[in-house]
Amino acid sequence: MDTQVAIIGGGPSGLLLSQLLNRAGIATVILERSSRDHVLSRIRAGILEWGTVELLREAGVGARMEAEGFPHDGTFLTDAERMVHIDFKGLTGKQVMVYGQTEVTRDLYDAQDAMGTTILHGVEDVSIHDLDGPVARVDYTLNGERRSLTCAYVAGCDGFHGVSRQTIPEDKRREFERVYPFGWLGILSRTPPVSHELIYANSPHGFALASMRNANLVRCYVQVPLSDKAEDWSDDRFWAEFRRRLPSETAARLITGPSIEKSIAPLRSFVSEPLRWGRLFLVGDAAHIVPPTGAKGLNLAASDVFYLHQALTDALQTGSKGGIDAYSDRALARIWKAMRFSWQMTTMLHRFEGEDSFAERMRGATLAHLAQSEVARRDLAENYVGLPF
Ligand code: FAD
Ligand code: DHB
């Protein structure tokens, strides 16, 4: 065999899995469609659950996160009337870490380079074969030349649009999906955060999120119709809309500046079952998508990796197949709970086009209940900081 585990996709799932397997003495090769610069230019998630933080430490990539990340003890949920503080630390004893996906990915690339792992960028036409035989094979094209890689297992870490999930025959897959009728327009700007913790705002004009990367770099989002394009939104238009969706005292403190990145992400809930097909295992966005409202996408990828790296290590080092047999059910049990939380946060905080006045009152009542009930706040906090894995 050319390697023990072939990993399709060099995003956070593929890199973290490879890093953990390599540290356990297992050989991997990563096949990535894009250039490294392209992967590192994607601005995505910003919040790490503490379980993800600990897994990154275990993978030996915690140093820069410790130095440059910001632990947060809570977050705010608001509407025009209320500012509800969710005290994660007080309610659950746990925190989350503000540290961007781009930085996590950069740290993982640096660690993988130090390990000497083969990461092939610019691979095309990946196809996966022989998943029910003794040796699996991955074919791909690199620099115009068709090549093959043989391996014991294949990890499909190639995101929502990858080939891995499609390799499982359609009649053996069950897909569950909810597409939301809006997207998030996000900007990155070198300005100070409007609040020391994140603010998730449900306003009569739609949802807004005030997030950050550091003391002089913010990531801010507004809910927009799916028909909008990022080019439709000048910086001035973005900030005016963002300001309009924040409570007035907060809006009064807002400092604006030019955007250095601006993009729109559609919102979707999606799960494909099972996560295993013979020697192939699906991980992260290849298997499931959550709307970003609960900050769960990257964190779910991390828990999949946690389960799979243990399972593959057992299978390859002790011959014990219990872990790989249980992987799909184990990961899905956690995935569905994060699906529920992300859906609930999305429903609670967004305006749905054409909704009735009842829906608006339900959102108001949910926030009012959170303001008044510690039990409700603890439930939200427990999910936001991350269920155990
Ligand atoms: P990906 O990051 O998608 O990585 C998959 C990799 O596989 C990519 O590098 C891709 O180039 C590669 N690939 C794809 N197809 C092939 C192929 N055929 N062959 C080889 N390589 C291939 N989550 C949050 O929590 N908060 C957010 O704000 C947030 N914003 C997001 C914005 C966008 C636009 C998107 C798409 C996602 C966002 N997410 C967010 C979700 C979060 O970023 C993902 O959950 C996370 O990136 C999952 O990591 P992954 O490695 O599984 O998949
Ligand atoms: C960020 C993104 C999220 O989806 C979220 O819930 C919190 C923060 C961010 O990009 O900072």
pLDDT digits (tens, 9 = 90+) for 99-136: 999 999 999 999 999 999 999 999 999 999 999 999 99
> What does the DSSP assignment read for 19-35?
HHHHHTT--EEEEESS-
pLDDT at 314 over 90: yes
- Note whether 201 and 192 are within 8 A (CB): no
Q: Give the per-residue pLDDT at 248.
A: 94
Annotation marks residue 153 as catalytic: no
- Give the sign of the dihedral formed by CA 68, CA 35, CA 226, CA 167: negative
Percent of the chain with pLDDT over 70: 100
- Give the sign of the dihedral formed by CA 27, CA 29, CA 35, CA 40: negative
> How many CB atoms lie under 10 A from the CB of residue 93?
10
Q: Which of 138, 158, 221 to mutate to test the pocket of ligand 1 (most atoms within 8 A of CB)?
A: 158
- CA neighbor of 369 nearest in space, from 91, 94, 77: 77
Task: Please name which ligand lies nearest the alpha carbon of 349.
Answer: 2
Annotation marks residue 72 as catalytic: yes
pLDDT at 184 over 90: yes
Task: Please name which ligand lies nearest the alpha carbon of 287.
Answer: 1
Q: Which of 76, 189, 198 to mutate to test the pocket of ligand 2 (most atoms within 8 A of CB)?
A: 198
Ligand 1 atom at minimum distance from 101 CA: 43
- For 103, the token pair is 């930085």
Indicate whether residue 33 lines ligand 1 (CB < 6 A): yes
Annotation marks residue 296 as catalytic: yes
pLDDT digits (tens, 9 = 90+) for 192-210: 999 999 999 999 999 999 9
Q: Give the per-residue pLDDT at 1.
A: 82
Provide the H-helix boundaries in the chain.
12-23, 36-41, 50-58, 63-68, 88-92, 101-115, 164-167, 235-244, 248-253, 297-317, 322-349, 357-372, 374-385
Q: Give the per-residue pLDDT at 81.
A: 79
Q: Give the per-residue pLDDT at 4.
A: 98
Task: Please tell me the residue having the least CA distance from ligand 1 atom 52.
Answer: 284
- Give the sign of the dihedral formed by CA 68, CA 196, CA 230, CA 267: positive
pLDDT at 165 over 90: yes
Task: Please name which ligand lies nearest the alpha carbon of 199.
Answer: 2
Task: Please tell me the residue having the least CA distance from ligand 2 atom 4.
Answer: 292
Task: Please tell me the residue having the least CA distance from ligand 2 atom 5.
Answer: 295
Task: Please tell me the residue having the least CA distance from ligand 2 atom 8.
Answer: 46
Indicate whether residue 10 lines ligand 1 (CB < 6 A): yes
Map tokens 């093959």 to a residue.
Answer: 148
C-alpha of residue 126 to centroid of ligand 1, in Å: 17
- Which of 292, 307, 327, 350 is an active site residue? 292
Task: Please tell me the residue having the least CA distance from ligand 2 atom 6.
Answer: 295
pLDDT digits (tens, 9 = 90+) for 27-83: 999 999 999 999 999 999 999 999 999 999 999 999 999 999 999 999 999 997 789
Task: Please tell me the residue having the least CA distance from ligand 1 atom 13.
Answer: 158
Indicate whether residue 292 lines ligand 1 (CB < 6 A): yes
- Give the sign of the dihedral formed by CA 301, CA 303, CA 304, CA 305: positive
Category of 114 on φ-ψ map: left (φ > 0), alpha (ψ -120 to 50) or beta: alpha
Q: Give the per-residue pLDDT at 124.
A: 98
Which whole number is the average pLDDT over 1-13? 97
Q: What b/e string do you get for 3-29 counting C-beta neighbours within 10 Å, with b at 16 or more?
A: bbbbbbbbbbbbbbbbbbbbeeebbbb
- For 259, the token pair is 């955007």
- CA neighbor of 324 nearest in space, from 304, 306, 308: 308
> Cβ contacts of residue 212 below 8 Å, gap of 6+?
46, 70, 98, 193, 198, 218, 219
**CA–CA distances in Å: residue 229 to residues 167, 224, 281, 379:** 32, 9, 35, 36
